[in-house]
Amino acid sequence: MRAIVNANIVLENEILENSALLFGETIEAVAPEHVPEGIEIIDAGGRFLFPGLIDVHTHGYCGREVLEGTADAVEFIAGKLLKDGVTGFLPTVATAPLPAVGAALDAVRATMGKGRGAKVHGAHMEGVFISVEKKGAHNPNLILPPDTDFLAPYADILRIVITAPEKYPEFVQWCAERGIVAAMGHTNATYQEAMEGIRRGVTQATHLFNGMRGLTHREPGAAGAALLSDRVNCELIADTAHVAKELYPLVYRMKGPDKILLITDSSIASGMGPGVYTSNARTVYVDELVGRLENGTISSSVVPLRRDILNFHRHSGATLPEAVRMATLNPARVLKLDHALGSIREGKRADLFVADGEMNVLLTVLDGEIVYRGDAPC
């Protein structure tokens, strides 16, 4: 057993100042009256102690990407994510030829439950079965109608699948019937079409506002349906580039603290710094916030999830515990893992990280083991 002391512990609804936490593989006690003698003591030095982050939408990190289609690539990404306080994630597969998609999904399967990196909780499939009209950075030549024969062998590891409900309402139902989260994204759905998709089983909106018909005063579109439906969780990339920070209060007031999932939509360039990179066989030009294709289309974000939390907290009106829940407990609930992950509570897994007020990570703990210390570069 170990103890983290002198920490500001971020719980689901409050922060316990100058408190201690006892943990082994699971959390043994929060703010105990006494810390037992003879155990390892970690002094947080007045910094914050957070539950481990869960990123449900990440394509790559530190020079590698999921579409490499190898277990080595997924394991590498999982290891590097620890330095950002991410202890669980869904490797996300973008539009590509179906054999490449299959290889990436096979790689995800091969890494689930293995390694000492962030836990692989399953796969997220973004692309292929989407709308050409709202393709974003996806290659239109590779977009196809849904192929359930192709997907069926992967139903056990697929956690989220993105599609356009106005085009493929039956596919939405197919996903929902198999316990796969049906997400509407890269969709040109009208408000009515989106609401029909929600009736059929859509429960998530992919990177809200991006890659979907937007909200106007006469046509609320898919974005309006996502904001207005209590059944829909909304992903948000809070890097201040994908969505203007002035809109964060609107999203917060409409969806509340429990229906928002902060995500990165990270890429091969995340953690690497500005430059020119090749991702999914395309050239991407990266600045401090996003990657863009040669035509200027945003292709990804390079802002880590911990910074998204801080951005949303500072610009939306959400408290820090609420913003943290959007990247911990809320995704754990979507993945049906909230009984064990997503918050600091006795009996839950000891997936934790220590960071300062600017969310610079000093220490990451996974299943009670210290797996990252300091400022390690890619």
Catalytic amino acids?
Answer: 265
* Helix/strand/coil (H/E/C) assignment for every residue in 147-180: CHHHHHHHCCCEEEEEECCCCCHHHHHHHHHCCC
- Cα angle 193, 127, 266; round to 5: 115
- Cα torsion 271, 274, 276, 281 to 10°: value is 30
- Cβ(234)–Cβ(301) under 8 Å? no
Which residues make beta-bridge pairs with 48?
A: 8, 355
Measuring CA to CA, how many Å separate 366 from each of 51, 83, 357? Answer: 10, 12, 21
Q: Is 30 helix (H, G, I), strand (E, B) or coil?
A: strand
- Cβ(3)–Cβ(21) under 8 Å? yes
Q: Helix axis angle, 221-228 relative to 248-255, nearest 10°? A: 50
Measuring CA to CA, how many Å separate 378 from each of 62, 100, 308? Answer: 6, 26, 20
Q: How far apart are CA 315 and CA 105, in angstroms?
A: 36
Written as six digits, the tokens of 197 are 């998709």
Q: How far apart are CA 246 and CA 132, in angstroms?
A: 29
Written as six digits, the tokens of 331 are 């995704």
Amino acid letter, residue 245 = K
Q: Is 142 helix (H, G, I), strand (E, B) or coil?
A: helix
Strand pairing report for 48-51 and 2-10: parallel
Closest CA to 266 of 37, 127, 83, 94: 94
